[in-house]
Structure 1
């Protein structure tokens, strides 16, 4: 008994779903929990982006796996050539090979905590460097406010954690990056199921 997957069922009816697309908008506003995000089926929502969509082909159909050209900060590239990456709404952070992530944490002044987490002094967020991800020859810049998670600490203040975490995924699946909610929260993400 083959049961159709939910997305296949939705996209099978071209009368109600002319475009086999789904898109995610994730709010990064910690003060507006009522509007945490949106998934759009069969189209895009132009209220959440401007300009044209930058399409990147899949390199494998095992996940939404695309080619990441480079990761750089202030003109210094931290990756050795293109690497696979997965765009994943189920991953909160932005993960990559531990050796590269450690260099990024050092560059942004990350203070090691436990379990691979890093804290950053909250007052430094405005002066943190942009971190650039190159996909399909196009640069996508994350500012400090995009990649630092500002969380209430219970004392009336904030604790600021880096949105980067090292994760070493062995071959044949890896090495790879996971462009999770830290990335998707900055860039409206559209998936073409067709």
Structure 2
């Protein structure tokens, strides 16, 4: 089954259509840690940033970070604008700035002017985080209160649609995990959209679903679930996960039975879930990681 995650933001201002759509390879540097290319400033400073659908904004390691290998130097960008200096939770200093951000890899770049950036003094996986989440009152530091990056691009006429599509491969070879498409649908790797599901909670990708089945286990209770295309695991209520683990022959990895693991060579049943009255099935196919 091809994995597709597409987002349409609502409540947007009008913008002149440009139909600019670009794609970038998604790489994996650790299981569940997906990174993409991003360039900041003029001239471009290149970075690998971790994809996250649970954060909103662009976070980057600043040159003032004592423990970071690859950092952003705002003094070298002619388009950079300083906005504020702050202290985040944990007492870490961070700077809020504004600059041109290019998503993708040259020559296929999506330039987004006037993008808010949080420059941090703490190390990240990769060089920072590209948050593709919704506009919220929280998030890391200041950025959670600002427009999502593709909404900002749409409002400035950079893209025709404030949509991104994530396609993840079943088998990862040499760190190549898939493709992200900015500004539209991925018509090469993904089929047509089957259905749209309204959010149950706007400040996160939370939707309602009405049942799941996994081998001999079935549960028709209604639940809400957080959809995270950049996560490396499935989470759920303890009783549901415990029953699924029993069917899969999985073993607990901690004394609280919070986490389970299963032998990669084990034959597993398909997983079916119901959203909006439609059933979606994830087939049991062995996946392999090769770094």
Q: Fold-level match, TM-score > 0.5?
A: yes
Structure number with larger C-alpha Rg: 2
Partner of 1:122: 264
* Segments of 4+ moved more than 3 angstroms: 1-5, 149-152
Among candidates 237, 242, 253, match of residue 97 of structure 1: 237
Aligned residues: 145
Unaligned runs of 5+ in 1: 153-194
SS of corresponding position for 1:101? helix
- Structure 1 pair 5/107, CA: closer, same or farther in 2 (3 Å)? closer
Which TM-score applies when normalising by structure 1?
0.63
> Is the CA contact 1:79–1:100 (under 8 Å) kept in the aligned structure 2?
no
Structure 2 stretches lacking a partner, 5+ long: 1-82, 84-144
For the residues of structure 2 that align with 1:63 and 1:56, how far apart are their CA atoms? 13
Instruction: Report the Cα offset of residue 71 of structure 1.
Output: 1.0
Structure whose residues are more often helix by fraction: 1
**Residue from 205, 210, 218 that aligns with 1:77:** 218
Residue-by-residue CA offset, 1:120-167 (whole Å, 9 max, x unaligned) = 233322xx2111011112222122326xx6568xxxxxxxxxxxxxxx
TM-score by length of 2: 0.44
Q: Classify 1:84/1:145 alpha carbon distance in 2 versus 1 (closer, same or farther; 3 Å).
A: same
**2:278 aligned to which of 114, 138, 144:** 138
**Cα 1:26–1:99 shift into 2, 3 Å:** same
Distance in 1 (CA, whole Å) between partners of 2:266 and 2:230 is 28
Sort the Cα spacing of 1:102 and 1:4 in 2 relative to 1 into closer, same or farther, 3 A. Answer: closer
SS at match of 1:60: coil
Q: State the match for 1:26 in structure 2.
A: 168
Aligned to 2:191: 50
**Match for 1:87 among 227, 230, 233?**
227
Structure 1 position 61, deviation (Å): 0.3
SS in 1 for 2:265: helix
Picking from 168, 191, 208, the partner of 1:67 is 208
- Measured in 2, the distance between the counterparts of 1:32 and 1:47 equals 21
The alpha-carbon distance between structure 1 residues 139 and 63, as it changes in their structure 2 partners (threshold 3 A), is: same
- RMSD of Structure 2 on Structure 1 (CA): 2.7
Quick check: 1:68–1:84 contact (8 Å CA) kept in 2?
yes
* TM-superposed deviation, 1:65: 1.2
Q: Which residue of 1 aligns with 2:159?
A: 17
Matched, 1:6 2:146: no
Question: Distance in 1 between the 2:216 and 2:264 partners?
Answer: 24
